[in-house]
Amino acid sequence: MPQIVVETWINVPLERCFDLARDVDVHCKTTQWTKERVVAGVSSGLLGMGDTLTFEAVHFGVRQRLTARITEFHRPTLFVDEAEKSAFASLRHIHTFTSANGGTLMRDIIEFTSPMGVIGMIADRLFLIIYMRRFLEKRNAALKSLAEATAG
């Protein structure tokens, strides 16, 4: 099972960073290049324990849907979302937040299993791990920019 870890330093307080990361509207804004939008479930505002939503986005030129549920929630340091329906056999996204020096270290850990057994494992190594890491890095850079621009 591949695991991707991306750490992003954001110069805003812990609670602000946590709330921005679980804000549905902010998520859609920070993933605009994939045309991501909510098509079911919680469609706006802050996600909490047990909330479910379905995103539709374009990845690899194909429109895809992912339904996820918040399965763990400890404000303001951790929340976890897990795919209930998606192109993946399994997908777990752990979001952690650590306060330091007046800002926040945001850490994303994604664990996933691709479908189709050995073919999926080959796809992971050839391109999917790189794609997922770049997606997270780009999304986090947009979140950082938005958070720091609206700080204060």
Question: What are the pLDDT digits (tens) for 86-115?
Answer: 889 999 999 999 998 889 999 999 999 988
Least Cα distance to 11 among 93, 128, 137, 104 occurs for: 104
Q: What are phi and psi of 102, to 5 degrees?
A: 80, 0
pLDDT at 49: 98
Q: Quote the pLDDT of residue 152.
A: 62
Mean pLDDT of the chain: 94
Domains of the chain and CATH, by start: 3-149 (3.30.530.20)
Paired tokens of 43: 């469609």
Does 83 score more than 70 pLDDT?
A: yes
